Chains A and B, each alone.
Chain A
Amino acid sequence: MTQALRVEDLHVHYGTIHAIQGVTFSVDQGEVVSIVGSNGAGKSTIMWSLTGVAERSSGTVEIFGEPLPAKPHDIVNRGVALVPERRRLFSALTVQENLIMGGYRRARDERMEADLERCFQLFPILKQRLKQRAGTLSGGEQQMLAISRALMSDPRILLLDEPSLGLAPIVVDTLMETILRIRSEGMTILLVEQNATQALEISDRGYILEVGRFLKEGPGVALAQDPEVRRAYLGG
């Protein structure tokens, strides 16, 4: 099977801070893989370096068998879409304009219309909010829009950085179901979560990240039940 993403010995520095100290992992096509770890472990840094925003100090990244380009806009054109931590919507723009930006790289054709319809199926509320400014949406709606904006770019791999952040537990449940639904349509997903149980449970495989290094890896469910992991990250 083709690997969607292959990362080997990745290092990232912020000035003198060695944030990522040699991580190696991969995501197969159609897989959901999660990276869990506590605050400051470096989860977001991995996501930003996979999108070209944080510069890699060393290591190789391959996306669908080809080396990752350097510039963010070229990376997007290879089919990588990020839903960043804290959503980072274009808050002064309307919901509709955010979705247009999501599809910026594509031709406006029937396939794009179909993707828009798919977003409305996933999140019907967005259709009623098209003219509303994104900054005035509720937290849950903002997350729906952030995911839709990413899907509008027609990605081959979706990177989700703490999508559950700031959402009520019941909304998190719906979110996890949505992630599984997107996956069942064939999407490859790399998920980063601090709140780990649910993330690991819906993942094929997981990695435990601790200050810049992987501590453990394995099938998602097995990691979620691993006593050591539970003690350290899942609150007992």
Chain B
Amino acid sequence: MFLQTLITGLSIGGIYALMAVGYSLVFSVLNFSNFAHGAVIMLGAYVGLALATKLSLGFGLVLAGSVAGAGIIAVLNERLAYSVLRRRKAPSLYLMISAMGCSVFLENLVYATIGSRFYAFPEFFGRQVLTLWGSSVSLLDMGAFLFALVSIFALHVFISSTRTGIAIRAGVSDMTMCSLMGVDLNRLIAIVFLLAGGFAGVAGVFLGIKYLVYPTMGWVTNKAYIAAVIGGLGSLPGALAGGLILGVVETFVSSYVSSVLRDVFSFSLLIAFLVLRPNGLMGQDTEEKV
């Protein structure tokens, strides 16, 4: 029972982490809360769903397709809704409001075109279970957790050691100087949104498989915001740690305390972190020596 709960928690936590890294990445580069991230996750799930049901593609292709689809949607979202504001040097509050607008717009667009029905993915993995030390563990949970771990680690390596990754971190540090190194900021920001959207696509498919696909499924991204704050906004290892901690705590609270209290716990955790450790577990002290 314990191990099973732990793995379930880790798999939910892994999905939170997948959502949190994209949100956190955009936050650290553009300094605003991209509340449209949940809508991109939802659209990614619909893209995956269409590929799985209409084209009967296998899991790998469905995942690849929704990564590409959500990535492109995120880039378009930035081009159409944020870049105008960026160019006018609008305060980040305006960007956040624009993001909220996008989120409502995209959800309603889905309501208007696809409808409010709940859809399920075809069963890619059946109900296969692994037996580990006497407890049965869902293969899907195990897979979601491992996939989240590996893909976030890959993103971390990309950000910390490639030239583009260094440029992204330089942009986080000082956008203007980054452009004076010869970096085309519009391209750099497009890459950031492509990455964030790609991860949103993965999260969308896992969420859709684990639960269902519907227009407001992106609201669960609230949990990703909490995970990002717990881990430290802007830190990728932090987003991973924050997501996993939140997922495990929630699952244990639901199964050992009460499932009604789950979200009360999550938001209490958020408030505790904001008060006691606003930089999160791994948030960097950006203090400079002048």
Task: Give A contacts to B, CB under 8 Å.
Answer: 51, 53, 71-73, 76-77, 81-82, 84, 86, 88-93, 97, 100-102, 104-105, 135-137, 142, 149, 153
Contacts and interface: CB of A to CB of B under 8 A. Distances in A.
Contacts of A51: 180
12 contacts: A72-B179, A84-B180, A88-B176, A89-B174, A91-B286, A91-B289, A93-B166, A100-B166, A101-B170, A104-B181, A135-B289, A142-B289
B166 A101 contact: yes
Contacts of B156: none
Interface residues of B, number: 24
Contacts of B173: 90-93
Interface string B167-196: 101101110111111111100000000000
Given A92-B284, A104-B163, A153-B182, A97 B177 contact: no
Contacts of B123: none
A151 to B, nearest CB: 12
B144 to A, nearest CB: 32
A174 B172 CA distance: 32
A81 B179 CA distance: 11
Given A51-B180, A86-B290, 15 more contacts: A53-B176, A73-B180, A76-B180, A76-B181, A89-B177, A90-B177, A92-B172, A93-B166, A101-B170, A104-B181, A104-B182, A104-B183, A137-B289, A142-B289, A153-B181
A71 B286 CA distance: 28
A53 B180 CA distance: 9
Chain A CB within 10 A, most for which of B170, B180, B287: B180
B185 A93 contact: no
A33 B254 CA distance: 71
Nearest to B185: A73
Contacts of B287: 135
Contacts of B174: 88-90
Interface in B220-260: none
Contact of A101 (B167, B184, B286, B289): B167
A15 to B, nearest CB: 12
